[in-house]
Structure 1
Amino acid sequence: MSKVDMNLLKHLSEAFGVSGRERQVREVILSEIRSSCDEIKVDNIGNIIAKKHGKNNKNILIMASMDEPGFIISGYKEGGGAFLSFEPVGIIRPQSIVSESVVVGDKMIPGIISLKAVHLSTKEEREKLVCLKDLFIDIGADNKQAAEREILIGDFAGFKSKYTELGEYGVSNKAIGQRACCAVLAALLKADYDCSITCVFTVQKQVGLRGAKLSFGSDDEFDEAITLDTIEEEQYKLGSGCFIPCLINSTCHDRSIAIKLMSMKDNLNIENKDNDIKCEIIAKKIDDGDITSVNIKGKGILTAELDIPVKNKNTSSEIVDKRDIDAAYQIISKYLES
């Protein structure tokens, strides 16, 4: 039975957590880990730094991000009602968000991302790719004044979707990839290891890795670090395990940590009817993640990244596989035990 709590993952994925507005996610995590840690603090930007002391002098950092992509309200449009203009927070593909449900502002007002009606569009408009400037959020306001009473420019909006089980192993929701990483860290904090571990749940990854850059100071000393992240499911099939990227835009992984992580796959206890669970180094270039900020902190930290495959990344319907989540937990746990 997996040590990663799927009910926790459900609550994490349903919590609102657009970059800069991660409070709901933070509250779920704090409630889950508070009794498992020796020290917990929340810094000024909103990162959670949770420490569990071990028996020896070794101190290992493990990191995952809490935030998700979303939108920020930038203005109002009128015409048959009043609608909200918006800009993206993080990387979002316009074609994937048409007709999606969202919640807006501190009041969590429901809305729908909308596009000019097809029967009112010209042939050229129907055939061109959708751009963000073509989209707006409809909250059912009759006029601009009604919209202004409910929503302010600068308010945040995020996807509203439900946690869904897909087949025997699949689970889907917004942000479920990154929240799976957070659930793994929460499970690691409940176990006991000879080494000390510091689990950092970071904010604002989507807008420049800001949380990771500020998550600990130069006085904090770590022997090694592992950042847990996600990778787009392309040739990396869901249910096939975890991957260690060696080509990251602005940094390099530590080879010894990567090889040691890879060796942990040999004794995993995971139900898998179809595939061999992998933990392998891949030579695919990926965008910067928290690892970019971690390995240059202080005097420098030896760091590697472990990735869980995710399908439909940065949409309202991300999909991950329970076996990959369990593999990530077991690989890191065995690494800490070693």
Structure 2
Amino acid sequence: MLLKRLTEASGVSGNEKEVRDLIMSSLEGYVDEIKTDRIGNLIVHKKGSNPSGKRLMIAAHMDEVGLLVKDIDSSGLLKFMPVGGIDKRVLVSKAVTIGEKKLPGVIGAKPIHLQKRDEWSKVLDIDDLYIDIGATSKEEAERQVSIGDYVAFDTPYSEMGNGTIKAKSLDDRVGCSILIDILKSDIDADIYGAFTVMEEVGLVGAGPAAYQIKPHMAIVLEGTLCYEIDELDSHQMPTMLGKGPAISLIDRTTVYDRSLREQVVKIAQENKIPYQFRKTSMGGNDSGRIHISGTGCATTGISVPTRYIHSPLSLISKSDYDNTYRLVEAIIREFEKGAI
């Protein structure tokens, strides 16, 4: 399954090559043009019907949050720094892989038995954690690991419950997977696909990608935060699992084009596709750079709700994945007719 292969690939921000190569091989024979720019974005063009002459860009970012080795101590333990926004409370005892050879390791800390009582109530700082690769000395560790090596979480893809997928890096391999599905479909529309780099460290790749494509309209595909518990009122829940794709209103980087959003909602309703609104302004995505590139571009953010985002594992609903694909496909068909 493509989503399994995408999520299990390593692609911490700035180190997206494994993901990029997988996407390129998946799209071979399905697109007319494919290139990698100097910053590492993968940009593809599927030629098709385009009565309006407008350029449609669909973007999804390849990178994931992770870690970077910054030091090796005398006992062979690795010290690290985060890459992207990671909640340090969830790091202890997590399995990871280091470097191109995917050396296995475990994030460790002082055992609770040896902690002082006042330490029990404190969140361990990154500097209190380390990665254990089973080495017994700095020299032994240095034969396997180098300063600057990327560290990815080691979470196998699996399915659980009633149509729920568990994996790492669903933000945003879920968007990449849907975009690949779209590009491989029989939709006869002119589409520029942008698989961007380094979204998690400041939307780095999206601006250069949009500069090259010069889109009139863009769809940003994401895995977005999902949190629904009984103690919260419905307006405090950003998205809910199983309720359909989330359409963005506003976030940290974009106030989304109202006219385009209303058209997207109408398309969902006409096609009987369940949808919800992303009811938070926290976070951001590649739209923050795309919509201000060149002379400007109307964007819409369409996301798959994702529980436990920016952690070693996340959950999505298969029905949300399928309905997000349906909505994007329906939008493209309207674009193809020149209705948007």
Q: 1:148 aligns with which of 142, 149, 166?
A: 142
Looking at structure 2, the residues matched to 261 and 329 of structure 1 have their Cα atoms a distance apart, in angstroms, of 13
Aligned to 1:310: 306
Tell me the secondary structure at the aligned position of residue 40 of structure 1.
strand
- Kindly indicate whether the alpha-carbon contact (under 8 Å) linking 1:243 and 1:278 is maintained by their aligned counterparts in 2: no
Q: Displacement of 1:267 after TM fit?
A: 5.1
What letter corresponds to residue 263 of structure 1 in structure 2?
Answer: K
Which of these residues, 257, 261, 265, is aligned with residue 260 of structure 2?
Answer: 257
Alignment equivalent of 1:61, drawn from 57, 64, 87:
57
1:324 aligns with 2:327: no
1:197 corresponding residue in structure 2:
191
TM-score by length of 2: 0.90
How far did 1:167 drift?
Answer: 1.8
Q: How does 1:179-328 map to 2 (within 5 A)?
A: 179-217=173-211, 220-234=213-227, 235=237, 236-266=239-269, 268=271, 278-328=274-324
SS in 2 for 1:46: coil
| Residue number in structure 1 paired with 2:231 | none
Question: Quick check: 1:49–1:200 contact (8 Å CA) kept in 2?
Answer: yes
Higher strand share: 1
How far, CA to CA, are the matches of 1:77 and 1:25 in structure 2? 31
Query: 1:282: how far off?
Result: 4.1
1:311 maps to amino acid? R
Which region of structure 1 is more displaced relative to structure 2, 10-19 or 230-239? 230-239
Distance apart, 1:288 and its partner CA:
2.1
Task: Give ranges in structure 1 of 5+ residues lacking alignment.
Answer: 1-6, 270-276
Q: What letter corresponds to residue 94 of structure 2 in structure 1?
A: E
Question: How many Å apart are 1:136 and its aligned residue?
Answer: 0.3
Counterpart secondary structure, 2:309: coil
Equivalents in 2 of 1:43, 1:336: separation in Å? 25
Runs (5+) with no aligned partner, structure 2: 228-236, 335-340
Query: SS of the counterpart of 1:256?
Result: helix
Secondary structure of the residue aligned to 2:124 is coil
| Correspondence for 1:124 | 118
- Deviations along 1:130-184, one digit per CA (max 9) or x if unpaired, are 2211110001111111112211111111101110101231001110241111110
Aligned to 1:4: none
Percent identity between matched residues is: 34
- What is the total number of aligned residue pairs between the two structures? 322
Give yes or no for the alignment of 1:161 onto 2:155. Answer: yes
Q: Do 2:44 and 2:193's aligned partners in 1 also have CA atoms closer than 8 Å? A: yes
- Distance in 2 (CA, whole Å) between partners of 1:257 and 1:193 is 21
TM-score with structure 1 setting the length: 0.91
> For the structure 1 residues 282 and 142, does the alpha-carbon distance in structure 2 shift closer, same or farther, using more than 3 Å as the test?
closer
Q: Which moved more, 1:244-253 or 1:179-188?
A: 244-253
**Deviation digits for residues 48-84 of structure 1 (CA, Å, limit 9, x no counterpart):** 1111112222321100001101111111234xx3201
Between the aligned partners of 1:221 and 1:102, the Cα distance in structure 2 is 39
Query: Cα RMSD between the aligned structures?
Result: 1.6
Task: Say whether the 8 Å CA contact 2:174–2:222 is kept in structure 1.
Answer: no
One-letter code aligned to 1:322: K
Q: Which amino acid aligns with 2:269?
A: D
Distance (whole Å) between structure 2 residues aligned to residue 156 and residue 226 of structure 1: 30
Q: CA deviation at 1:287?
A: 1.5
**Aligned AA (1:8):** L
The answer to whether the 8 Å contact 2:171/2:310 transfers is no
